[in-house]
Amino acid sequence: EVMALAKMFGLYSREVAFYQTYRDVGIPKPKCFFSCCSEDGTRMVLLLEHLAPARCPSWRPTLAEIELALSHLPAFHAKWWNATGLKEQACLIPTKDTIFAGSFAAAAAAADQVLAIGGQNSQIAVTCVVAVNSKIEKWQAYLDSRDYTIVHADYHGKQMFMPSTEGGKFSI
């Protein structure tokens, strides 16, 4: 199932494309020494810089680590704000991606099941998904007309390295 999802969403090919495209992304990241992805998108190899003795805070970063992570975002977003050609990059998911629209359609189709399982706790989310799905093309056009930048969808402690008492540096 993981391979099917990776292939369907292009996860491995997008990850490899990210490292091949962005040597200086504007936020600290490990150096990439080698990257490749199979043609079918089900296998990849990334040879990245070893970041020890930095530590990964997992789901429990300290307040200081959260502040450090947030301090890198303004320059990162400013670097890519409305950058020419950014929307066409292979590692990014365009707003008019069929998988993006299909995800809303599938979620809307499962609305009754989600409500049956989640009850009132899921009502607002289901209402939003159904509404967006009913106007997906308008919504995609609206998003496409707005300012844009790179958004790191996994900007959380499990995807970060923080300096430790032994040394190391911040990196995503």
pLDDT higher than 90, residue 62: yes
How far, in Å, CA of 65 to CA of 87, rounded? 31
Give one DSSP letter per residue of 9-30, joined into a string.
Answer: HTHHHHHHHHHHH-SS-SS---
**Mean pLDDT of the region 103-132:** 92
> What's the pLDDT tens digit per position in 78-99?
999 999 888 888 788 777 788 8
pLDDT higher than 90, residue 44: yes
Mean pLDDT (the chain) is 90
pLDDT higher than 80, residue 154: no
